[in-house]
């Protein structure tokens, strides 16, 4: 048993493939704000993301996929447009099945970390959190070993907004749920 595991580990570096690429896409977010006494009207706006990515394929279709993205999301709160500018770092485990280099289908899941580049106000004195954490789940297809098309949903674990208003004593909180559609080119 120990000998078989040693042989598999020795063969893994031969099978592993590390590739770099560029990823771009669209954020389709839904900011949901809750307030005890305020009636806030929230309309969602699409944004975009772009940045470098790494795709590390290991043994048997398993791998790791990560990105360092500039990400923009948006919403209108009571008619006032608010854009969120952030650095987003998704780190996903990936499982691929397919037809070799011509085409494959993959599923991903893993944590997503978002760090705001500026602290903008959502409404009156209410600001976004400086950092957010979520879980990604996604599906995609890789074509001709270079082009990757994917859809991803980010489930927020932390709140985007959670602030007590000093004047009214009201608490405004909310989460930013996001669908992402991406295209990536791997070198």
pTM score: 0.83
Which pLDDT score, from 0 to 100, does residue 45 have? 86
Of 163, 88, 174, give the one whose Cα is nearest residue 131.
Answer: 88
Is 177 inside a domain boundary? Answer: yes
180: in domain = yes
Q: Worst-scoring range by mean pLDDT, 50-54, 93-97, 126-130?
A: 126-130
Q: Number of folded domains in the chain?
A: 1
Q: Provide the residue range defining the domain that includes 67.
A: 16-186
Instruction: Please check whether residue 28 is in contact with residue 46, taking contact to mean a CB–CB distance below 8 angstroms.
Output: yes
Report the pLDDT averaged over residues 7-17.
56
Percent of the chain with pLDDT over 90: 52
Has residue 166 got a pLDDT over 70? no
Whether 75 contacts 29, CB under 8 Å: yes
Residue 4 is assigned to a structural domain of this protein: no
**Cα atoms found within 13 Å of the Cα of residue 132, Cβ hemisphere only:** 30
Q: Is residue 1 part of a domain?
A: no
What pLDDT, in 10s, does the model give residues 54-87? 999 998 899 999 999 999 988 887 777 878 899 9
What's residue 97's pLDDT? 94
In-domain check, residue 80: yes
40 domain-assigned: yes
Q: Is residue 158 included in any domain, yes or no?
A: yes
Q: Does 9 fall in a domain?
A: no
Q: What is the CATH number of the domain that holds 179?
A: 2.40.160.20
């Amino acid at each position: 048993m120990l000998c078989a595991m040693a042989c598999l580990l020795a063969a893994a570096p031969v099978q592993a493939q590390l590739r770099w690429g560029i990823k771009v896409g669209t954020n389709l977010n839904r900011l949901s704000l809750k307030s005890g006494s305020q009636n806030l009207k929230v309309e969602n706006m699409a944004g975009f993301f772009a940045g470098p990515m790494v795709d590390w394929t290991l043994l048997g279709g398993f791998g790791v996929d990560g990105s360092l993205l500039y990400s923009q999301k948006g919403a209108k709160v009571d008619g006032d447009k608010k854009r969120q500018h952030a650095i987003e770092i998704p780190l996903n485990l990936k499982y691929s099945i397919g037809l070799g280099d011509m085409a494959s289908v993959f599923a991903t899941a893993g944590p997503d970390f978002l760090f705001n580049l500026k602290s903008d106000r959502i409404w009156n004195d209410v600001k976004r959190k400086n950092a957010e954490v979520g879980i990604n789940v996604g599906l995609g297809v890789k074509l001709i070993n270079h082009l990757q098309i994917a859809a991803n949903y980010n489930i927020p674990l932390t709140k985007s907004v959670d602030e007590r208003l000093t004047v009214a004593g009201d608490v405004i909180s909310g989460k930013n749920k996001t669908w992402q559609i991406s295209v990536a080119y791997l070198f």
